[in-house]
Structure 1
């Protein structure tokens, strides 16, 4: 199946995208129920509340119980394979799926704006303190990656990708970026394998409550009313 490494090139992903689209096309109109896929973050709230309140049923649609995924790679896999047909997805990732991989899909609604934060170890007091350290983003194709790199450049720091555990391989003016599933970020910060992460709630608050980190910057303070997750449907 489509793995995170495959997301670097549309040519690698194309067979999976085509196969998933062909399989899902076998369903006829209303014969296919609403199958929601989500990650356990606040971005999923509109879809989960709509299901809990029976709003799909009121529109004459059958809706299955929402299915939880732990990473963006997993939810993209399931979406293109037709296992789920309504998902919330990072805005830059929708552009990659639609145009980079030529999968016929569309944005139906914005789920939320702002709502994310850069959380760091307690001893880090300012952005420049991240020099020589590792910070996690939820996905390369994420607004979080865009915002973080914009902040780092403003501090004269360069983003590099040297992998987890790069250690001394990162220069004092470099910040090593790695991808982590949101659900893994707080534990990674507690283990000090990363110096910070940028992601949506509830993981920033969770780190503060657990005493393993603190919010350094809110994403809306960097880019007011920025897009984050959107509701994504197959074009059909």
Structure 2
């Protein structure tokens, strides 16, 4: 009887061990399966989605061992919501959106979206309808206010459009208005998704808009508007789009995120070669991506801006849309985050100054970026948190003292 009990105990012990082993195996299998789920990256139909699209088209995601699905999204608000819920792991995104959302300007205050790296600088524009043709020329800032004032008097309302409250297009539009001496409260400012800008201007829903290419160039091609100024004229090499990711994804799949960043970095380097831009324009112009004429995309990618309104062509040689510039583009600077949030105070989005540095520290994954840059032998700039000025507005912005800037800047 004693031997029988001993045998039963042994069998039970073995069964328990087998069960535990099986459960561990199932757990490992499940974890491995989860880690192999495709990474979902969104984009908005704009020329500067090129780093993500070309990383996919050139096979760079596969090269670095990650399965990435890219999806066209309808609006920046849609991108915001999908990143926050995890429906998207990341996206081509307005660099200032995470700060707009976190501070409550463009979303639920306290919601965290993480910036992994920058994608490009320059390449946005202020487009005015042909109603302004012959009255306001290229970079003629001093003529904007009297023409708008006259139009206001005649029609009682002038409407400008941007793409997301607190987003980059919103900031360039408001800085443009300030530089022109135009009170932002004198006009109506509405939010329109980038691909819908041209159609809305065509039916008279707005008098002007700020958006990324190719939608400035498309308005010129269709003869419904003209380029009044490019964003690089306002601020040469200004930050524009970023790779923004879901917070949990950045923690749970950190190594995969690094691989994604390497693929996108290589695409950025590829895109900065002029010889590759024609090929890129042909690809991103297709319907699954930007769905716009490749010749318009290519021209402005090459720095050749047909301005419209019989203004001729403006050629940009070192300040058109850039994606890498020897590593100067891709580093996510905290000083630029602080500048964006200072604009929210400047233009009345926020009644009180946020904790600028703490928010920048929380949302920018600069340590992760430095790891990726080091692995690819890409130089990391050393200019972060140093004072700077915009090209047109010479007011010095010291990221360590935004309050001093706000006391002297035009509102």
Q: Which residue of 1 aligns with 2:211?
A: 199
- The separation in 2 between residues aligned to 1:218 and 1:80, in whole angstroms, is 31
1:78 corresponds to which of 59, 73, 82: 82
Kept in 2: contact 1:30–1:61 (CA 8 A)? no
Alignment-derived partner of residue 89 in structure 1: 93
Distance 1:147 1:28 in 2: 44
Aligned equivalents of 2:54 and 2:36: distance in 1?
A: 23
Displacement after TM superposition at 1:228 (Å) = 1.0
| TM-score relative to the length of structure 2 | 0.45
Q: Which has the higher strand share?
A: 1
* Aligned-partner SS, 2:96: helix
The answer to whether 1:178 aligns with 2:196 is no
Offset at residue 199 of structure 1 (A): 0.3
Describe the SS at the equivalent of 2:205.
coil
CA distance in 2, matches of 1:191, 1:27: 52
The higher-RCO structure (CA 8 Å, 6+ apart) is 1
Q: If each structure's helix is expressed as a fraction of its own residues, which one has the higher value? A: 2
Of 163, 166, 169, 1:141 maps to 166
Residue pair 1:90, 1:141 contacting (<8 A) in 2 also: no
Report what 1:21 is aligned to: none
Give the C-alpha shift of residue 156 in structure 1: 2.5
Distance in 1 between residues matched to 2:178 and 2:32, nearest whole Å: 48
Cα distance between partner residues in 1 of 2:233 and 2:194: 21
Matched, 1:130 2:130: no
Q: Which runs of 5+ in 1 are unaligned?
A: 1-25, 161-173
Q: Secondary structure at the match of 1:197?
A: strand
> How far has the Cα of 1:176 moved from its partner?
1.3
> Which has the higher Rg, Structure 1 or Structure 2?
2
Quickly say closer, same or farther: Cα 1:82–1:206, change in 2 above 3 A: same
RMSD value over aligned CA atoms?
2.0
| TM superposition score normalised by structure 1 | 0.77
Map Cα deviations across residues 111-131 of structure 1 (whole Å, 9 max, x no partner).
111110000112313222234
8 A contact 2:130–2:225 mirrored in 1: yes
Deviation of 1:154 after TM superposition, in Å, equals: 2.7
Match of 1:214, SS state, is strand
Query: Could you say which residue in structure 2 is the equivalent of 1:53?
Result: 58
* 1:170-197 deviations in Å (ceiling 9; x for gaps): xxxx121111111111011111121011
The residue number in structure 2 matching 1:40 is 45
User: Is 2:179 aligned against 1:154?
Assistant: yes
- In the TM superposition, residue 81 of structure 1 has moved relative to its aligned partner by 1.5
- Number of residue pairs aligned between Structure 1 and Structure 2: 197
Superposed CA offset, 1:146-185 (max 9, x none):
122122123332113xxxxxxxxxxxxx121111111111
Question: SS of the counterpart of 2:93?
Answer: strand
